[in-house]
Structure 1
Amino acid sequence: MRFLMRSLTGFALFAAAIGLVAWGGWRFAEVMTAKTDAPARGAAAERVFTVDIGRVALGPEQPVIAAYGEIRSWRTLELRASVAGRVVELSNHFRDGAEVAAGDLLFRIDPEDYAARVADAEAAIRVAEADLAEARQAVEVARLEERAAKNQRTLRESGLERRRTLLDRGVATRAEVEEAEMALAAMAQVVASRSQALIAAEIRIERAALQLEREQIAAADARRILAETAHRAPFDGLVSEVSVVLGGLVAANEKLGALIDPGALEAVFRVSNAEFTRLLDDDGRILHLPVEIRLNLDEKPLTAPGVIERAGAVIGAGETGRLVYARLDLSSAALLRPGDFVSVAIREPELADVARLPASAVNQGGEILLIDGEDRLRPLMVEVLRRQGDEVLVGGAPEGARYLRARAPQLGAGVRVKALDGIDGDKSEPLVSLDPDRQRRLIVYVEGAAQMPIETRDRLLEAIRSGRAPAGMVERLEARMGRSG
């Protein structure tokens, strides 16, 4: 009996377990069937993205080419010793970085030996002058002797004629005539000798004059060398690369320093070939465009205006682009020095009817996203004219159109968006022109709105500075200005 009761209990528990499993399976099947047969719910609400929106403002823009280069001086003089010797005098201004004026003494080399050479040359001149005077006197004596010999010859010619006359009369003999002829011949020889002596004396004058000229040239050269022992600054400038000490021995033509003209500075920078073509006119000549030179001195940047003057003459091996030289405005370049690394902003000719957009609004293919009348994104291809750092200048964008300022992967054609804070106003509101006073007041207010997000502030300033802004935006800003005032 006990065995039967236990068997019935076990069977009852087994049946209960089977029932529970069957009930669970039935409930699971019922739920799945209900989910499958349930009518589909309504479509999920469309997601609207909040984005930063700007408006296209067309107008004239002046592109700027950014480049880097260095400052050079086109008037730099190497200070070299013209003569060898010991440095006996150094100017207090002959130091690196010192300013000197034209005519200031820089250094002096011991002049004693060179002064002695000048004295020797001057003594040689006096000797040559004495020789020349002696030669001139000798010419006078030779001329007198020649004249006397010619007179003697004339007398003997007369005597010969008398003897011949007497011979014809029978008074003189033939021997006397021959004696007179021999005397005349001897005197003729004396005349020839005196004439030769005169010619020699005259040639001696020419030689003495040439010797005097040589001595004068030697003396002038000695004086020049003596003067070169004292080296003076040929122009106002700054001294650099000084490599001499007082008492040091220097060789002829040894470099002792350099003199730089701070008023002859120019900026040398390199641009790409594409940028260089934009600096040329229709005839291929370089345009004299304005540039701005910037030298970063920690928290105090230095700027100086300039003008493009010329392009490099040759292209070095392995180099790309072109070298360009810009002349600097001396009144603003007082602190610039040769060797300074500077940034250069070149202002190109102005472009008309272009829009300045953030670089984040344009992809590599030149596409921007406009916001249409249904607040949906619509792609538009524009012509990218210039890339200016974080901005681009584009052509072909419609005036006043709203555009997406920053693209994102989830934002594409057809996506619905709304403005970040509504400051851009309704898509159909017109643009108003801002006079300078109104523009200034709006800029002051926006720049002073510390609670405004930086991106929004930059966007508002961009619209205000363009001179044309949405009417609703201007009204809201002026209303806030009134409340804050």
Structure 2
Amino acid sequence: MPFPPAFRERLQRLQRNHLIVALVLAGLLILWLASGDFLRAKDEPPEEQPQPEDSKAFRVETSVLEAEPHSPVHVVQGELLPIREVEILSQTSAHLTERAVDWGAVVAEGDVLFRLDPEARAAELAQAEAALALSQAELKGGEVLRRKNLLSETEYLRLKSAAASAYAEREQSALQLAYSKIRAPFAGVIDRLPVEEGDYVQVGEPLATLVDIAVLRLIAYVPQQQIYALRPGQSVEAKLLDGSTLPGILTFVASRAESSTRSFRIEAQVDNPERRRIAGSSATLTVRLSDQKAHRLSPALLSLGEGGQLGIKSIDAERKVTFLPVEILSFDPDGVWVGGLPEEVEVITLGAGFVTAGDPVNPVSAEQP
């Protein structure tokens, strides 16, 4: 049955109203979504878009390295030597009447080590003293005559010269007598003793070797790449063959490398308060440097620049290769520690051999799959 005209007209108005409401709601929803994106754009930066690759640039793999606190050390092999060693020689010819020390004896400075027969030297000294007394008396008489103009200038000078010669002879005889008693020049240990009592020793003949091992010298050679950080006064540690350690101070760093090895000689003084018999043995010398920021990397990343400087290849902000010189601080099982780089640096880890400084590249992070 058809609807009345009035009813159909009312139904059409109701449908038009619903359509208008739907359109209004849809418009409000669009405005709300748009305002949300606008506000978020104010508070958040736009997402970074990947930079397009340069089709002509070489593709390299890179890794970002950050500086870390590092306490660098230099470790080298060296040789321990006595701080002082002297061969005691006879300074006069005579029979050895007493050997006051034995092999390995510990002596103090000034201790008597040997006594030589003093009889001949004592007689020579007595004769020299008598000759000196005579010449001094003659000189004194000559001065009296000289004041009275009874002695010529030439004769007076002869008497004066004779007195001076007699004094020198007396001093020499006294010194020869003193040489008959041989004392230790410093505290140490008797290391060699080639003479026995009763031997007749000549001038210059070795009597003993005296070594001072209370302090030891540790001599080592450092490669030229590691010498720049070493300075006299730095703390060192000597590790002995039995695993024990002795503290010390770096005392010498050579200014010129050995021509045959290109290495530098260094010396350290190491305390040996127990006087352990380790002189002549080898030891590991560890030099501790001051704390600093450094980068740890693989030695394979190091290369030489145009001037022969050791360094690494990195990427700058314009995606170009740069060569950054480095200073090697120390080595360890995990790699090499270097200084001289910025706090953060993007290093080429793969492909560095195919590019040079200034080349544009397409870097790919080593952490990306």
Class of the TM-score when normalised by the shorter of the 2 chains: 0.5 to 0.7
More strand by share: 2
Q: Does 1:326 align with 2:333?
A: no
Change (3 A) 1:61 1:315: closer
Give the superposition deviation at 1:108: 1.6
C-alpha contact 1:309 1:327 (8 A) present in aligned 2 = yes
Query: Which structure 2 residues correspond to residues 297-316 of structure 1 after superposition, within 5 A?
Result: 297=242, 301-312=243-254, 315-316=257-258
Match of 1:238 in 2: 189
Q: CA–CA distance in 1 between the matches of 2:214 and 2:142?
A: 58
Give the superposition deviation at 1:208: 2.7
1:253-288 per-position Cα deviation (integer Å, ceiling 9, x unaligned): 222222222244221111111111232xxxxxx353
Query: Which structure 2 residues correspond to residues 47-86 of structure 1 after superposition, within 5 A?
Result: 59-86=68-95
Query: Which structure 2 residues correspond to residues 243-392 of structure 1 after superposition, within 5 A?
Result: 243-279=194-230, 286=231, 288-297=233-242, 301-312=243-254, 315-329=257-271, 331=273, 334-335=275-276, 337-352=278-293, 354=295, 364-365=300-301, 388-392=331-335
Which amino acid is the alignment partner of residue 263 of structure 2? G
Q: CA–CA distance in 2 between the matches of 1:137 and 1:386?
A: 81
Q: CA–CA distance in 1 between the matches of 2:72 and 2:201?
A: 55
Q: CA–CA distance in 2 between the matches of 1:98 and 1:235?
A: 13
Q: CA–CA distance in 1 between the matches of 2:145 and 2:327?
A: 97
SS in 1 for 2:213: coil
C-alpha contact 2:239 2:285 (8 A) present in aligned 1 = yes
1:146-167 per-position Cα deviation (integer Å, ceiling 9, x unaligned): xxxxxxxxxxxxxxxxxxxxxx
Gap runs ≥5 in structure 2: 1-64, 303-325, 345-365
Query: Which structure 2 residues correspond to residues 68-147 of structure 1 after superposition, within 5 A?
Result: 68-92=77-101, 94-95=102-103, 97-132=104-139, 135=142, 143=148
C-alpha contact 2:83 2:213 (8 A) present in aligned 1 = no
Give the superposition deviation at 1:415: 12
Gap runs ≥5 in structure 1: 1-55, 144-194, 280-285, 367-382, 400-412, 417-485
Give the superposition deviation at 1:109: 1.7
Q: CA–CA distance in 1 between the matches of 2:159 and 2:261?
A: 64
Q: CA–CA distance in 2 between the matches of 1:224 and 1:363?
A: 66
Change (3 A) 1:231 1:133: same
Which amino acid is the alignment partner of residue 114 of structure 1? R
C-alpha contact 1:71 1:336 (8 A) present in aligned 2 = no
Give the superposition deviation at 1:238: 1.7
C-alpha contact 1:384 1:393 (8 A) present in aligned 2 = no
Q: CA–CA distance in 2 between the matches of 1:288 and 1:204?
A: 64
Number of residue pairs the alignment of both structures matches: 258
Change (3 A) 1:317 1:390: closer
Aligned equivalent of 2:169, options 218, 221, 237:
218
Change (3 A) 1:365 1:212: closer
Question: Which of structures 1 and 2 has the bigger CA Rg?
Answer: 1
Give the superposition deviation at 1:128: 2.0
1:397-439 per-position Cα deviation (integer Å, ceiling 9, x unaligned): xx9xxxxxxxxxxxxx9999xxxxxxxxxxxxxxxxxxxxxxx
Which amino acid is the alignment partner of residue 208 of structure 2? G
Change (3 A) 1:267 1:245: same
Give the superposition deviation at 1:391: 2.8
Give the superposition deviation at 1:117: 0.8
Q: CA–CA distance in 2 between the matches of 1:394 and 1:104?
A: 53
C-alpha contact 1:384 1:392 (8 A) present in aligned 2 = no
Give the superposition deviation at 1:343: 0.6
Match of 1:228 in 2: 179
SS in 2 for 1:252: coil
State the superposition RMSD in angstroms: 3.6
Which amino acid is the alignment partner of residue 189 of structure 2? L
What TM-score, normalized by structure 2, do the two folds share?
0.59
Q: CA–CA distance in 2 between the matches of 1:306 and 1:76?
A: 19
Q: CA–CA distance in 2 between the matches of 1:236 and 1:223?
A: 26
Identity %: 24
More helix by share: 1
Give the superposition deviation at 1:79: 0.7
Q: Does 1:207 align with 2:214?
A: no
Q: CA–CA distance in 1 between the matches of 2:68 and 2:261?
A: 37
Change (3 A) 1:414 1:240: closer
Which amino acid is the alignment partner of residue 102 of structure 1? E
Q: CA–CA distance in 2 between the matches of 1:251 and 1:124?
A: 27
C-alpha contact 2:96 2:201 (8 A) present in aligned 1 = yes
Change (3 A) 1:65 1:132: closer
Q: CA–CA distance in 1 between the matches of 2:162 and 2:83?
A: 45
Give the superposition deviation at 1:386: 6.2
Q: CA–CA distance in 2 between the matches of 1:267 and 1:110?
A: 41
Give the superposition deviation at 1:317: 4.9
C-alpha contact 1:386 1:392 (8 A) present in aligned 2 = no
Give the superposition deviation at 1:218: 0.5
Give the superposition deviation at 1:209: 3.4
Q: CA–CA distance in 2 between the matches of 1:384 and 1:103?
A: 51
